[in-house]
A and B are shown apart, each in its own frame.
Chain A
Amino acid sequence: MLKSHLRLALAVLQRRKVFTAISLFGIALTLLVLIVAGALLDNVFGAFPPEVHHDRTLLIFNVRMEGKNAQSTSPAGFGLLDRYARDLPGVERMAITSTMREAFSYQGGQKHRLYMKRTDAEYWRVLQFEFLEGAPFAEAEVEAGSRVAVLNRSTRERIFGDAPALGRDVEVDGVNYRVMGVVADVSMLRALPFSDVWVPHSAAKDQAYRKELGGDFWGLLLARDAAAFPQIQAEFRSRLQRIDLSAEPGFERILALPETLFASTSRMLFDTHDEAESRPERLVGVLGLLTLLFLGLPTINLVNLSVSRILERAPEIGVRKAFGASALSLVGQFVLENVVLTLLGGALALLAAPLVLAAINHSGLIPYAQLGLNLRTFGLGLGLAVFFGVLSGAYPAWRLARLHPVQALKGAAR
């Protein structure tokens, strides 16, 4: 039966060429936008090198300090991470990195705008960067506060061109750093590994950051496995409760939670810093809702087209009912036909998506963007096409299933 329905679905699409072309264009465009959005989200939240241990990494992004009359939310302070996030049970490695900040380099008479991060040596172990030249700075450089730097490939080319870079000085914000290594570019969408220049956190002129509870650092916790997450979170929460806040006048408690990137983003977007539990489902819900809203208009459009297309086939519906088709089998047939249509649209969208993503990559809108299709985004496109097909096919199919067979045979379906 499936084969017969598929053959008919393709025959109908071939017969109604204009309808098919209009429908396919609308479907492909809708799915293309969603696939591109999906690829962007995948690039933000998915597992890509250098974040190869994405599935067992927890992050401490923000801390919130609260008092009777005051509250403050900021990235974590180095002091907080250094004193309270180390040696947590279930954690294999712990790294600290600053948030990225804008910096300028004057080299060869030119001004270069750069993004810079200050990190520790563990950062290079938690994240598996591809080193094109040299090596990362190690504990010795960090402890000594050495003015050394790792550059990404593009920055290296901008500043040094074809000339050797290793061992040479790069000037950033008036400070000279010796280049120790060059890594492959990482997209700006990857919050943790993205930067142009990395230097040891200890290379800062002012060392006051070492005591801060709130500041501009993030903690990266590489857990033994995902099963250890609750234990890590509980222990960190417990440690925070024991912090003496007498040095922070006006504040009575401090809140922070090691979470996955997705859960942390959800917490930041919904400003739920006071909640003790991770609530990533909120972000899932919003993304799902946005997808549904975006699908809404084209769905209505496709429903209208499908209703008129299907009702033109009222006599066929009458014949099928006369020969024993139940309402359910007719619904199945017409939903399947719609899914075939949307799958074709999905296929077109998947063919066009790499071109659009390549255009975004080359546009420079997102520094070092490396958007592309992978199995996840391909699956997303396919899933969306089927979902779109069922969503837009269900109502027309339901309407036709209610047709009276005698009226349908007369073609008076409306």
Chain B
Amino acid sequence: MIRLANVEKVYRTDRIETVALSQIDLTVAAGEFVAVMGPSGCGKSTLLNLIGLLDAPSSGTIELAGKPVASYRDREVSRLRNQTIGFVFQTFHLIPDLRVLDNVELPLLYRKMSGAERRARATRALERVGLSSRLQHFPSQLSGGQQQRVAIARAMAGEPRILLADEPTGNLDSQMGDEVMGLLEDLNQKEGTTIVMVTHDQRQADKAHRTIRIFDGRQVAC
């Protein structure tokens, strides 16, 4: 499902060249749940951004579903992100001016789909995360855990084959964290969604099928 071969990411400014990731070779099979661990600043999120096509590698190749993505143009990359990948962020990144239902509809806005179908799919996603009673609330009216559940519903609404979660429990207490992890596990087991999750929490990482460890931009264990 995901294959990275000899991937390197270097950030360059006028004076400094920072190697964020180097010699990353990684294969994630369809339906796998992979945790990525490592100290802060080691390149975990950069790895997730590269897999999610939010950033491009400085060298090396990335394949999603068997297709190399380097040659894709902006529109094709956008379509791939929209139809194949879902994101869950540590800070939720819900749009404050939109109601919960509208937030969850967001990935579907960029698909050819009727408003009624969009609404129905977003409502179903919210029902699955237990927030069907909060459709018309604004994000600021929800707790952190509820906001993250909305973010998961948003990622789920598009029914992506790959879900990338960047420290999804990082801003939650342990109980809410467990609830969110339960949702991710459920998604992986019932839907077969491939999940790559960055986490600092070993307890959460243990729930994944395997853990990749990054240190100073290099893959040190798998």
Q: Name A residues whose Cβ lies closer than 8 Å to a Cβ of B.
A: 1, 3-4, 7-8, 11-12, 15, 315-316, 318-329, 404-406, 409
Contacts and interface: CB of A to CB of B under 8 A. Distances in A.
B97 A327 contact: no
Contact of B78 (A1, A4, A325): A325
B144 to A, nearest CB: 16
A4 B105 contact: yes
Nearest to A11: B97
Contacts of B109: 1, 4, 325
SS class of chain A's interface: helix, strand, loop or mixed?
A: helix
Interface in B58-81: 74-75, 78-79, 81
User: Taking each of A322, A325, A326, which has the highest tally of chain B beta carbons within 10 Å of its own beta carbon?
Assistant: A322
B54 A406 contact: yes
B164 to A, nearest CB: 9
Given A322-B87, A406-B55, A15 B74 contact: no
A324 B83 contact: yes
A324 B82 contact: yes
Contacts of A316: 93, 95
Contacts of B167: none
A1 B118 CA distance: 10
Interface string B86-102: 11010001011110001
Interface in B120-152: none
Interface residues of B, number: 29
A355 B31 CA distance: 68
A315 B79 contact: no
A324 B79 contact: yes
B171 interface: no
Contacts of A315: 93
B97 A15 contact: yes
A329 B93 contact: no
B93 A405 contact: no
Contacts of B86: 323
A106 to B, nearest CB: 72
Given A3-B115, A406-B49, A8 B81 contact: no
Contacts, number: 75
B57 interface: no
Contacts of A8: 95, 97-98, 102
B98 A11 contact: yes
A325 B54 CA distance: 12
A211 B102 CA distance: 80
17 contacts: A1-B110, A8-B98, A8-B102, A11-B97, A316-B93, A318-B93, A319-B95, A319-B106, A320-B106, A321-B81, A324-B79, A324-B82, A325-B78, A326-B75, A326-B110, A409-B54, A409-B89
A72 to B, nearest CB: 65
Nearest to B80: A324
B87 A327 contact: no
Given A1-B109, A406-B49, A323 B87 contact: yes
B97 A324 contact: no
B74 A326 contact: yes
Contact of A326 (B49, B78, B95, B158): B78
A321 B95 contact: no
Given A8-B102, A323-B81, 13 more contacts: A4-B102, A7-B98, A7-B102, A15-B96, A319-B106, A321-B54, A322-B52, A322-B87, A323-B107, A326-B110, A327-B74, A405-B54, A406-B55
B161 interface: no
Nearest to A3: B115
Contacts of A323: 81-82, 86-87, 106-107, 110, 154, 158
B71 to A, nearest CB: 17
Contacts of B105: 4
Contacts of A325: 78, 82, 109-110
Nearest to A316: B95
Contacts of A324: 78-79, 81-83, 107, 110-111, 158
